[in-house]
């Protein structure tokens, strides 16, 4: 009878970013600028790689996947947040909240695994250059790419199912600008120990395992670079890894700061998390463009093709 008298929540209220009341216009302009730059930058990288046959290699296949992930990740929460800022509303349906939780962990896990696969690709290219085309053939690349997406879909499905099988009967105010597991689960009118334990284990184990594998790959890469006799060879090998290493630091850095520094103030923790969720995906195409001559050439070729067409 007690369960029957409870009111089931059909929508949630997103409270937004704490301590920003009165700055809604600045937030709207800032998030819109980040979002448009993310879309434009990643679409240009994706289009340039597809248009240039010289870039149809495993490394750039993974970079295409990363561009798609950046676009998807930026689109999980930012459009809804912009609508809420513009219309002065803060509600999100139960289905919309469920979608945000699922895609946040689906794309986040996929991106984590893609970075690991890219590290393996760089390891094979530098440490086993003569066997690179044999090891990283298209079949292996297809299996690795599909495996990251499929594995992440199962991961996100389990976490989302555990989160929304909990009963929600009020209050329904999510203390953030989008739905995430911890922010939503604490509103459940039931014991959340299992979901919190599983979520912490999954969200901690996956990034830590990926980071460890990436670290091992780069230890071997650095060792191989130092053994090279040619200074030009060392420079070229280091250059091919610089962009990937930079985006890995940008991706894992905010996570490390938040989870290893529990004494951080709420304002600092949220700022770091927003940087990781929003700014990183805008910076990725900039980093790969600035550090990669092949991508620059492909972008110039794409621009020339578009100019000729116009």
Which CATH number goes with the domain that contains 69?
1.20.1070.10
Does any domain span residue 208? yes
Does any domain span residue 4? no
Q: Looking at residues 152-165, what average pLDDT do you find?
A: 91
Whole-number Å distance between alpha carbons of 304 and 124: 34
Domain span at residue 167 reads 11-305
pLDDT in the model for residue 305:
67
As separate numbers, helices (DSSP H) first and strands (DSSP E) second, the chain gives 11, 3
Query: By the 8 A CB rule, do 133 and 50 touch?
Result: no
Q: Looking at residues 242-260, what average pLDDT do you find?
A: 80
Q: Looking at residues 278-289, what average pLDDT do you find?
A: 84
Whole-number Å distance between alpha carbons of 247 and 140: 24
Does any domain span residue 6? no
Does any domain span residue 3? no
Going from the C-alpha of 17 to that of each of 162, 183, 309, the distances in angstroms are: 26, 12, 44
* Residue 262 pLDDT > 70: no
Does any domain span residue 2? no
pLDDT digits (tens, 9 = 90+) for 185-215: 888 888 877 777 777 777 778 888 898 999 9
Task: Quickly state the pLDDT bin for 4 (edges 50, 70, 90).
Answer: very low
Does any domain span residue 310? no
Does any domain span residue 130? yes
Task: Quickly state the pLDDT bin for 1 (edges 50, 70, 90).
Answer: very low
Does any domain span residue 30? yes
What's the domain count of the chain?
1
pLDDT in the model for residue 260:
62
Whole-number Å distance between alpha carbons of 302 and 50: 10
Q: Token pair of 192, please?
A: 């959340």
Backbone angles phi, psi at 14, to 5 degrees: -85, 115
Contacts of 181 (CB under 8 A, 6+ apart): 101, 105, 159, 163, 195, 199, 203
Q: Are strands 173-174 and 11-14 parallel, antiparallel or unpaired?
A: parallel
């Amino acid at each position: 009878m007690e369960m029957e008298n409870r009111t089931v929540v059909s929508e949630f209220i997103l409270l937004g970013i704490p301590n920003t009341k009165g700055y809604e216009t600045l937030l709207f302009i800032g998030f819109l600028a980040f979002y448009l730059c993310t879309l434009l930058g990643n679409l240009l990288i994706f289009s340039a790689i597809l248009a240039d046959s010289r870039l149809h290699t495993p490394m750039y296949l993974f970079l295409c996947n990363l561009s798609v992930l950046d676009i998807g990740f930026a689109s999980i929460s930012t459009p809804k947040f912009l609508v809420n800022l513009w219309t002065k509303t803060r509600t999100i349906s139960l289905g919309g909240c469920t979608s945000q939780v699922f895609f946040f962990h689906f794309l986040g896990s996929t991106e984590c695994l893609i970075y690991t696969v890219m590290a393996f690709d760089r390891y094979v290219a530098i440490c086993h250059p003569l066997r690179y085309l044999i090891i990283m053939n298209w079949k292996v690349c297809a299996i690795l790419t599909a495996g990251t997406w499929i594995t992440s879909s199962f991961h996100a499905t389990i976490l989302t199912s555990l989160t929304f099988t909990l009963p929600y009967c009020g209050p329904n105010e999510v203390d953030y600008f989008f739905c995430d597991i911890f922010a939503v689960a604490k509103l459940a009118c039931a014991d959340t120990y299992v979901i919190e334990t599983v979520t912490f284990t999954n969200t901690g184990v996956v990034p830590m395992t990926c980071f460890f594998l990436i670290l091992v790959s780069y230890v071997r890469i650095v060792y191989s670079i130092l053994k090279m006799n040619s200074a030009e060879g060392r420079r070229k090998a280091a250059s091919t890894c610089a962009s990937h290493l930079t985006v890995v630091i940008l991706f894992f850095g905010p996570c490390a700061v938040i989870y290893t520094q529990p004494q951080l103030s709420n304002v600092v923790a949220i700022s770091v998390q927003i940087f990781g969720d929003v700014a990183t995906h805008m910076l990725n195409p900039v980093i790969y463009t600035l550090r990669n001559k092949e991508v620059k050439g492909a972008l110039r070729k794409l621009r020339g093709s578009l100019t000729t067409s116009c």
